[in-house]
Amino acid sequence: MEPGSPRDAEDARLRPTYAVVSRSRLRDNLAAVKALVAPARVMVILKANAYGHGLEAVARCLASQADAFGVALVEEGITLRQLGIENPILVMGGVWTRQIPLFLEHGLTFTAPSLARLRDIEEAAAARNATARVHLKIDTGMERIGVHHYHAEGLLEAAARSAHVEVDGIYSHLSNADADDLADARHQLERFEETLRFYERRSLPRPQRHIANSAALLRMPESHLDLVRAGILTYGVYPFPGAPRAVEVKPALAWKSRVVFFKVVEPGSPVSYGGTWSSDHRVRVVTVPVGYGDGYFRSMSNRAEVILRGRRYPQVGRICMDQVMVNIEWGTGYNGDEVVLIGEQGEARVTVEELAEWAGTIPYEILTAINDRVPRLYEG
């Protein structure tokens, strides 16, 4: 399927609201990131349905390029293994003790955020006469999961002594790499580097180190270390407004729908729930079958814009669960016309960043909120 082309007869059975994901842009984005951070390796983050782009399709697309994959949940890791993905897969979220056998069964890499959890992993691996691969998680200031940097030595010592644990990596997470002032991020990096001196003092081989997310890999070359975690950049979206364009990436996802109804609305006639919008003159209004039930946030009501026939038009009235209305004034629109929610049509463009601004949130939430009611189609 080519960008902007009509779907074929098979696709036409799907609902008229759908997302199109470009495999070629995904590959190009990852190649650009790898070139920027070399010789550091790249872990592609696939959590939250690959940032809304489709876990299975994105993993298959990027498996030959990615040095590793990162997920949040053990279930995501299992899905990848069942697809035949052989790349190292780090599960970055917390792990329940009862889930430990699943990691061992499917060859997934643990995050060990505490001495107690490391012991649980060691015991489970020993009982199976297996070796567990782990990345140790150091909290340098996020206060989420991970052992505090000032208490980390006990975890590192225990891991080094563990007979059934292979320490494949050690990492932390930057909480303010998108801030105007990078002082806090640099302080976290310093704490992490101090923790890593444990290996030098003990003359032990150092596992691969990683701390850089998308924001840091753009702004802090010193944070690249051995491995970077490329999340939203892989999908062609910059992590925050004003992020430096140290690497050129392009959005991989477009979100589209179709006009399903056309009407003329009289002056003073309110549109949608609560009557939050009306016109002082006759206008043409079209209805589009997408709503907050798909992830098109209600908070964007009367703020969002869409593209129809190459022109941007305002969404009007409250966004419904399944439908939105668009004021085209006296422009032209017919049932079946393509409506672009995210993406390009002709010279007009609507970006993920704009939706985030209209919704009062961040691009990450916009992408991950596009739910499974919206079919994904893949091109390239």
Q: Catalytic amino acids?
A: 47, 273
Which residue has tokens 């649980």? Answer: 120
Tell me which residue of 49, 105, 53, 54 sits closest to 81, measured CA to CA: 105
Task: Say if residues 204 and 167 touch (Cβ distance below 8 Å).
Answer: no
Give 202's contacts (C-beta < 8 A, 6+ positions apart).
160
Give 161's contacts (C-beta < 8 A, 6+ positions apart).
none
Instruction: Return d(Cα 293, Cα 247) in angstroms, integer.
Output: 34
Instruction: Return d(Cα 129, Cα 340) in angstroms, integer.
Output: 55
Question: How many Cβ atoms from other residues are within 10 Å of residue 176's Cβ?
Answer: 18
Give 14's contacts (C-beta < 8 A, 6+ positions apart).
7, 375
Give 12's contacts (C-beta < 8 A, 6+ positions apart).
none
Tell me which residue of 7, 2, 28 sits closest to 18, measured CA to CA: 7
Distance of CA 70 to the CA centre of its chain: 11
Q: CA separation (Å) from 255 to 55, 74, 252, 316, 349?
A: 17, 29, 10, 19, 12
Task: Say if residues 279 and 264 touch (Cβ distance below 8 Å).
Answer: no
Task: Say if residues 278 and 284 touch (Cβ distance below 8 Å).
Answer: no
Task: Say if residues 98 and 75 touch (Cβ distance below 8 Å).
Answer: no
Instruction: Return d(Cα 219, Cα 273) in angstroms, integer.
Output: 44
